[in-house]
Amino acid sequence: MFRVRPIKLIPNLLAYCKVYTASFYIIPSISKRPCLGSLLPFWLGSSKGPKYKIPSLIQQLSVSTSSLAVQEQVMAETGVELLNSVDDQHGGVRVEMKEPMDPKIFSTLLEASISHWRQQGKKGVWIKLPIELSSLVDTAVKEGFRYHHAESDYLMLVYWIPDTVDTLPVNATHRVGIGAFVTNHKREVLVVQETRGKFRGSGVWKLPTGVTNEGEDICDAAIREVKEETGIETEFVEVLAFRQSHQAFFSKSDLFFVCLLKPRSFDIEKQDSEIEEAQWMPVEEYAAQAFVQKHEMFNLIAKVCLAKLDADYVGFSAVPTTTGSGKRSYLYCNNHYMGYKTSSSNNQP
């Protein structure tokens, strides 16, 4: 991008304009730069400036943003261009880069934007860079940004502006896993032996387990994992227990929910890629395995499952509800004394 003085290159445009205080117009080096806002001087169109008729050529130099969700690019009062941003609910701003940009131009705009946000009293800055704009990561880091989290298609960087304690929330601290306790009318439990992982080749029979997908409810994840690993159709009943452990997945903690499911089918079709063997095993035989007896956590889980079958143990049912913002959700609670009846229809979103 370069700056051109209008007196030298576009003198005829001055005849249409009764404002002469700006020293330059900005002309893009390519025909469209959606990541940038208006290319006209910042005072054009201001309610405080004089009225005039904008010539069609100048109108064509205006570039709109690529998303209505992103605030239109503005200029600071000094005439310096800023990155597109939207305010968040915590006194900060969010920037979502969508179009290619030269790292040097990005550095200039980022530095000017930080200065502008500091004057406005903003706190945290979030910049989302898609993987195709990874060339801008180094520039952002040199300006003081740090990694917050990454997904398969983007990297999120953050920056704390004020000279106070950084209160930006950390990245997600836990992943969520499930174990499925599925029993039939013969007091048999559905168990598997895995083709990989720490139980590979150990001869240990274990409950079907897995990890929830993004946006997936615990009850749905349990049903899905059983279906994928064994081909058995099930109905969610309740959460029997859950366990929290730390440093379980790289540096992340882990929440593991033991779920009681009722089978709707009984013929096993194992998942060859992950499951070596699958069978219905007498529940007492499952609990009596040497591995289960030796390891306290597995022994406790087996005792909970047996208590559900033989005693009055009551777990946590999934009660469908809505959040304050109207989103569908589940409250997992012991409704034994609440008079709330759940059914298979309740467990469907």
Active site residue 228: yes
Query: Residue 88's CB: how many other CB atoms inside 10 A?
Result: 14
CA 331 to chain centre: 21
Q: Measure the CA–CA gap between 109 and 95, rounded to whole angstroms.
A: 12
Q: Where are the alpha helices (DSSP H) in the chain?
A: 6-9, 56-60, 103-119, 137-142, 218-230, 283-287, 290-294, 296-310
Contact predicate 37/81, CB 8 Å: yes
Amino acid at residue number 91: G
Among residues 99, 143, 216, 228, the one annotated as catalytic is 228
Contact predicate 33/61, CB 8 Å: no
Q: Measure the CA–CA gap between 159 and 114, rounded to whole angstroms.
A: 9
Q: Measure the CA–CA gap between 110 and 316, rounded to whole angstroms.
A: 50
Judged by DSSP in three states, 64 sits in coil
| Vertex 9 angle, CA 107 and 84, to 5° | 30
Amino acid at residue number 119: Q
Neighbouring residues of 90: CB distance < 8 A, sequence distance ≥ 6 = 123, 124
Judged by DSSP in three states, 4 sits in strand
Q: Measure the CA–CA gap between 16 and 56, rounded to whole angstroms.
A: 10
DSSP characters for 143-168? TT-EEEEE-SSEEEEEEE-SSS---P
| Torsion sign, CA atoms 78, 80, 84, 87 | negative
Q: Give me the active site residues, please.
A: 228
